[in-house]
Each structure stands twice: as C-alpha cells, then as structure tokens.
Amino acid sequence: MTMRDTAEDPASVWDTAATSFARWRAGDPAALDELVRVMSPILWHVVRATGLDKEQSEDVVQTAWLALVRSAHTVGDPQAVARWLCTTARREAWRVSKNAGRSTAVDDESLEWHMPSQASPESEVVLSDEQTRLWESIGHLPDRCQKLLRIVAMEPRPDYARIAGELKMPIGSIGPTRGRCLDKLRHELERTGAGR
Amino acid sequence: MNPTPDNHDQGPLESLADDALTLEIRRLWEILDPPPGDLADGVLATLAAIDLEFEFELLTLVEAHDALAGTRSLTSQMSEVGQWSLEFAGPDFRVLLRISTVNERRRVDGWVLPRRPMRIQVASASAGHPSYDGVEVDAHGRFEITNVSPGLSRLWFLPEPGESDDSRLPIATPPFWI
C-alpha cells in the first residue's frame, strides 16, 4: 500500500456532489445526506487551511451548509455546488478569523504548523517514510509557502482568482507563487532525500 | 512544470509534477488533521433543526370551487379527471389556483396578487421546508406548474434574493390535495 490509496479521487467527489445536489433539488431528501457526507470532510480541510481552530472550523462548516440550504437556488448549475460550498466556507472562515483577532489565531496556528504530533493528538498518526520526509520538508518552507500550499491543496479545483482576492494577492499571482513554493519544496525534498 | 498528472506512482516525491505533489500535500493533511468523526452527523442534525424553526407566513383557504357538479370524497377527487379552483389569502397576499388533470398528472395554474418577484414550488405536505427550484411568476403575476404528482401538498412562495425587501418571509399554503 502506498500513501496514494488513502484519499478518494477529487474529481469523482466533485461529480458525486453534483449528482446528489441535483437529486436533492429535484425533491429527494436523502440526497442531501449524501451531499453532506461527501463534502463535509473537504470543507473541514478548506476551513482548517485558513488557520481556524477546530471548534471554530466545525462552526464554519455548519454555517456553509446552512447557507446552501437557504440559498440553494443561487447555485445554478449543480456542477458548481462543490466550489460554491468551498468558497462560502473559506469566506466565512476568513470573516471569523478576522473577528477573532489575528494575534491569537496566528499563535495557535504556528504551533500546529510546526508540531505535527499535536495536529490530532487523539488519533494515532502513522506516516509512511515518504510522508514523514514530505512533512519535514514542508516545515522548512517559509510560513507563507506553507500556508498557501495548504490552502490550494485542500480544495480539489481551487478558484485561484477568488483565493487571490481573499489573500489580498494580485490576481494571477497564485499560480506562479504555488509553482515557486513547490519548487522550494522539491529542493528541500532533494536535500533530505540525499541522506536516505 | 511537468504536465503529466499520473506519473506519481513512480519515483520519489521530488520528481512529482506540480499537481501530483499538491495532491500528496493534501493527503498528508488528511492524515494529520482528520475531521471530527461526527462532523457530518452534526451538520445533518443542524439542518434537521432549522426545518423546525423555518419561519413562514401561512395563508388560509378562503374559497374552494369544484368545476364538476355534486359532492365527492377526497379520495375520489384524487383519481378523477377534474378541475377545481382554490383561493388562499394572507394579510397582504392572495393566490388563486386552478388545478386540472392531464394524463393522471396534475397541472396547477395560479395567479398571485400583488405580483412581486418570487419563486413558486410544490412540495409534499410533510416536507417542513422548501428545498429546490420552483417556477417564476410572469409579468402579470401568473404561473403554471405542470406534471405534478397527485397528493397532499402545499405551495411555497419564496421571495427572490436581492429584492428590495429582504425581510419578507416565505409564504406557504396550508396542505391541500392536488
């Protein structure tokens, strides 16, 4: 088993979400359950990537779902529902973190960034050798790169223009910045890989 | 940038293309920071609870006309070919409905007064909450909903978002047979 077996194909998750949403709008209440079960873990990661703590993140995920149920008719094409949810959740997360005051959020966050063993103390985290190497290499990147890579990684098809706006970065800069951060990461991986 | 997305099963991490390496970052975080086990259940419980607190203005039935002469029971009305009309009203809203049958499916023609932007949908009477797209009223306040399953139902009149008065509540008829 490789580390690649652990996650579902992001594209199929998007399609499942679209199908469930279309069925729900056509009047099948059970389809909402499916949509919630498929998309909630993704929303969790999208929200956590903004640096909110766990309790706040759960609240934000719930808020995104309430927004969907109350404004389902604004989504339009069912294919857009996953992105709509991710964008709504991320915006709400930025709003909450602004209101909470940045200083405490950053303190908590920096602890979690640099102490993987604390990221989920209640569960036993088992990383493969390659994942451990990846984790250590990420830890050597500048904070800005760590944060950006997490944000763009957690949403299967991120909307770079929107994320640029939310991060107050120039539109069109996210793609190149992601590329530079990934290059730095490769450089770190090569450095640590040499000693294996 | 290496454009091949599927080359990540070979070679070390540093040789992965951008998208494949990003995917590995995602999988790492999925392991390090899993969502709470009851996340989806909590969301579903919250969504179920808002059904209970969903506020709407309830109309009352003010008039019912049967196009066929004579009386008949609700059950015979369900299956019969027929046409009848109903009028519901609230403090500042009125709707006239004509229900007809085409190939054992119902058709609802309606007229709202006053005309304002809204979406109208038929839902099962047991659904506490409207959940999907409906039809729009036309410029004269008329609307039609075709191919409706017969049964105990209610009509929802949902204000369009972004209209001048956001405080308007959705309006619903009491349950009635379609």
Q: Contacts of residue B161 in chain A, CB cutoff 8 Å?
A: 71, 73-74
Residue B147 has pLDDT above 90, yes or no: no
Distance in Å, alpha carbon of A98 to nearest chain B alpha carbon: 22
Angle subtended at Cα A34 by Cα A120 and Cα B158, rounded to the nearest 5 degrees? 115
Residues A161 and A115 in one domain: no
Residue B172 has pLDDT above 60, yes or no: yes
Residues A38 and A107 in one domain: yes
Amino acid at A66: L
Mean pLDDT for the stretch of residues A170-183: 92
- Whether A1 is covered by a domain: the verdict is no
Residue A122 has pLDDT above 70, yes or no: no
Q: Which long-range contacts (CB under 8 A, 24 or more apart) does A167-170 make?
A: none
State pLDDT tens for residues B108-134. Answer: 999 999 998 888 988 877 666 665 568
Tell me which of A95, A125, A155 is where a domain ends. A125
- Whether A89 is covered by a domain: the verdict is yes
Mean pLDDT for the stretch of residues A136-146: 92
**pLDDT for the residue A39:** 96
Whether B123 sits inside 8 A of A27 (CB atoms) is yes
Q: Are B175 and B115 in contact (CB under 8 A)?
A: no
Best mutation target among B131, B135, B157 (most A Cβ atoms within 10 Å) is B131
- Whether A145 is covered by a domain: the verdict is yes
Residues A143 and A170 in one domain: yes
**pLDDT for the residue B51:** 66
Q: How confident is the model at residue B80 (pLDDT cuts 50, 70, 90)?
A: low
Residues A135 and A104 in one domain: no
Tell which wins on pLDDT, B69 or B91: B91
Which ipTM was obtained for this model?
A: 0.82
A40 and chain B: CB distance < 8 Å anywhere? Answer: yes
Residues A145 and A54 in one domain: no
Residue A106 has pLDDT above 80, yes or no: no
Query: Angle between the A30-48 and A143-154 helix axes, to the nearest 10 degrees?
Result: 170
Tell me which of A125, A154, A184 is where a domain ends. A125
**pLDDT for the residue B163:** 55
Domain(s) of CATH 2.60.40: residues in chain B: 57-177
State pLDDT tens for residues B86-115. Answer: 999 998 899 999 999 888 888 999 999 999
Residues A143 and A104 in one domain: no
- Whether A168 is covered by a domain: the verdict is yes
**β strands within chain B, DSSP E:** 57-58, 60-66, 83-90, 93-102, 105-113, 118-124, 135-136, 142-148, 152-159, 171-172, 176-177
Q: Contacts of residue B13 in chain A, CB cutoff 8 Å?
A: 130, 133-134, 186, 189, 193
**pLDDT for the residue A10:** 63
Q: How confident is the model at residue A125 (pLDDT cuts 50, 70, 90)?
A: confident
Residues A84 and A153 in one domain: no
Least confidently predicted of A133-142, A156-165, B135-144, B162-171 = B162-171
- Residue A64's domain is classified under what CATH number? 1.10.1740
CATH of domain B57-177: 2.60.40
Whether A153 sits inside 8 A of B22 (CB atoms) is yes
Q: Contacts of residue B21 in chain A, CB cutoff 8 Å?
A: 182, 185-186
Distances (CA, A) of A168 to A119, A141, A173: 27, 21, 10
Residues A48 and A94 in one domain: yes
* Residues A183, A119: Cα–Cα separation, whole Å: 25
Residue A9 has pLDDT above 70, yes or no: no
Residues A22 and A83 in one domain: yes
Q: Are A137 and B53 in contact (CB under 8 A)?
A: no
Amino acid at B173: T
Mean pLDDT for the stretch of residues B147-165: 77
Chain A, 61-100: which have a CB under 8 Å from a chain B CB? 61-62, 65-66, 69, 71-74
Q: How confident is the model at residue A1 (pLDDT cuts 50, 70, 90)?
A: very low
pTM: 0.64
Residue A31 has pLDDT above 70, yes or no: yes
- Residue A189's domain is classified under what CATH number? 1.10.10.10
State pLDDT tens for residues B11-24. Answer: 688 888 999 999 99
Residues A67 and A96 in one domain: yes
* Residues B159, B168: Cα–Cα separation, whole Å: 7
**Measured between CB atoms, which of A32, A40, A120 is closest to B33?**
A120
Question: How many pairs of residues across A and B have Cβ atoms under 8 Å apart?
Answer: 144
- Whether A3 is covered by a domain: the verdict is no
* Residues B35, B133: Cα–Cα separation, whole Å: 31
Which chain B residue has its CA at the smallest distance from A190's CA?
B14
**pLDDT for the residue A38:** 94
* Residues A196, A114: Cα–Cα separation, whole Å: 22
* Bond from prior residue into B114 cis (ω within 30 degrees of 0): yes
What is the count of structural domains for chain A? 2
- Whether A21 is covered by a domain: the verdict is yes
Whether A36 sits inside 8 A of B133 (CB atoms) is no
Which chain A residue has its CA at the smallest distance from B135's CA?
A73
Residues A49 and A98 in one domain: yes
Tell me which of A104, A125, A146 is where a domain ends. A125
* Residues A148, A172: Cα–Cα separation, whole Å: 14
Domain that holds residue A179: 126-196
A1 and chain B: CB distance < 8 Å anywhere? Answer: no
Residues A28 and A108 in one domain: yes
